Amino acid sequence: MEYKDLSDEAVKNIKEFGFDCIFTLGGDGTQKSARDFSTKGVNVIGVPKTIDNDVACTEITFGYNTAVSVAMEALDRLHTTGATHHRIMVLEVMGRYAGWIALESAIAGGADVALIPEIPYDINKVASKIENRKKRGKNFSVVVVAEGAKPIGGELTIMGTRDNGEGVDNTKLGGIGQVVAKQLQEMTGLEARNTTLGYMQRGGTPTAFDRVLSTKYGTKAMELALEGKFGTLAVIKNGRLDSVSLEEVVGKNTKIGAVSGNTEESNLRKVTMDDDLVKTARDIGINLGD
């Protein structure tokens, strides 16, 4: 399969059809492309939409709350089987290189362990957490694993690589949940089962929160368009609607064609160790693998 850069032809068509503005709904890859088209003279305004919640410069993306709610419901259901069958129930969730879904769903769903990309984990620390629960008469545990989690000194677990063209993140994450389940079963003696939610997190019925959030973003994007403030992204700062330049969203990833991925140039919003979610998880006894 051959990939060609047809962006100049796209720009030509946009101008010939007389489009006043292109609204781009998506994550970091989409907004990187938006910035590139803006550089080529297209009037573009971005709207942050991704379940991963990893778009730079905004506090939350729509789609994220729905994904967390789906993961939380799955954890509620896994608790029942884990408790009655005395098993370790592992849930692998999406999020790419950011641990937002794993961390927040673990808190909401009462998980005992949450492994996220931002904190390389020590499987021995996880096993110790589960052993301590066994000593207290709790012969089951619930573990949430982000698809981008990796052990200390180890590599990402991937299902394979795609061929979607140069500049695109072609790494297909997945499989870490099964790896963790197998290791914990061998180390603790408890049966372990992995559930990978996969695309169940991405579709279906949005939560009320996401419906309202997307509407807020939409009205802000239209406001920006009417004011002629192109080359921007509608964002939320300090809980209020605002906007930033797409250049700021892209950060160092300025090369046209280099879309997305977990590189030094990628301006992804990841979980920081001073985030309230991290502190909350630790305070209620969730093991983060460190």
Tell me which residue of 160, 126, 122 sits closest to 144, measured CA to CA. Answer: 126
Per annotation, catalytic residue among 28, 36, 52, 112: 52
Alpha helices, DSSP H, located in 91-190: 100-108, 123-135, 176-188
Q: Residue for token digits 């192109």? A: 230
Residue 290 known to be catalytic: no
Phi, psi values for residue 80, rounded to 5°: -60, -50
CA–CA gap between residue 174 and residue 198 (Å, rounded): 9
Residue 202 structure tokens: 């991405």
Q: Is 166 helix (H, G, I), strand (E, B) or coil?
A: coil
Which residues, in sequence order, are bridge partners of residue 234? 243
Amino acid type, 154: G
Cα–Cα distance list, 255 to 33, 179, 246, 261, 265 (Å): 10, 36, 13, 13, 9
CA–CA separation, 262 vs 12, rounded Å? 32
The C-alpha atoms of residue 95 and residue 68 are separated, in whole angstroms, by: 10
Distance CA 43, CA 163 (A): 30
CA distances from 8 to 15, 17, 36, 37, 258 (A): 11, 14, 11, 9, 16
Catalytic residue positions? Answer: 52
